[in-house]
Amino acid sequence: MSASIKGQTCEWNSSRFHHGERINYDIYYKWGLIFSKAGSASFEMSDTAWQSQNAWRYHLLFHSAGMLETFYKMRDTLTVYFSPSSRILFASKHTDEGGFYLLDELSFSRIGSKTSIRSYRRTRTAVRIDTTLTTDACAYDMLGAVMYLRAIDWDGLRSGAEFPFLVPVGKEFVNARFRYAGLETVKTNESAKYNAHHFYIDVYDSAFAQSKEAAEVWVGDDRNHIPVRVRARLKVGAVEVYLKSSANLQYPSNCRIEDGK
């Protein structure tokens, strides 16, 4: 069931997404004996419009906290718009970190069998990048990659199945892929356990300590396909992300293992 990076279907089934869906996460930083609250993240889904056409909007807000907030404040906002057929239309990332500001915008269009992406980056004072990238492979921004993962069909899925894609970053593409590792019981904190599907994420980018298995994600085993835990290995330390709460989901959430079961 390995998917080829060329010729694969780049659209997905959006039936798992629901207007008003909200998912909240706690983020921790781990380095040696240090295990500290680093921030929080919230995802929101809404039925809206993009350039006068019906569209979905997926929005992520990251807010630093704890020790990280003391030394390095971060307020990052990511937004992606995609069509009812689940084709990405536009993605943006606003980075505001300790006085440093950066805006990245990606405008997607389909030309025959190829995807064309205008990559635009600017600071408060100058345009840093304004170029066009093209590919015949599947390309997603970070939020688009999350939706791609949630849309993977688990029926008949076997350990080792691969789902490659590209991530446009500035003037180039970064190669990435999800690799399926099977169904597991995963612990997110002292009181929460979930039945979840385990995926490795291979990311060929210098920001990570290693390319293969740069990150792992566990997706809850119910029809919503919500990530319940994420672990990313950085050059210094690692990041752990735990599901905190969710609301207005499309389907009942029943992947959590209650105490005594």
Per-residue model confidence (pLDDT) at position 2: 29
pLDDT in tens, 21-55: 999 999 998 877 777 888 999 999 999 999 999 99
- Helices (H) then strands (E): counts for the chain: 2, 15
Per-residue model confidence (pLDDT) at position 196: 98
Residues in the chain where the model's pLDDT stays below 70: 1-9, 66-73, 205-211, 259-261
- Answer yes or no: are the C-beta atoms of 230 and 215 closer than 8 Å: yes
End-to-end alpha carbon distance in the chain: 33
Per-residue model confidence (pLDDT) at position 230: 96
The kind and range of the H/E element at 159 are none
Residue 231: which residues within 8 A CB-CB, separation 6 or more? 215, 216, 217, 238, 239, 240, 241
Per-residue model confidence (pLDDT) at position 3: 31
Given this structure, which CATH class describes domain 14-251? mainly beta
Per-residue model confidence (pLDDT) at position 249: 96
DSSP 53-121: EEEEEEEEEEEE-HHHHHH--BEEEEEEEE-TT--EEEEEEEEEETTEEEEEEEEEEEETTEEEEEEEE
Per-residue model confidence (pLDDT) at position 7: 39
Per-residue model confidence (pLDDT) at position 21: 97
Per-residue model confidence (pLDDT) at position 209: 46
Residue 26 tokens read as 């706690």
Cβ-in-10-Å burial (0-12, 13-18, 19+) of 53 comes to: exposed
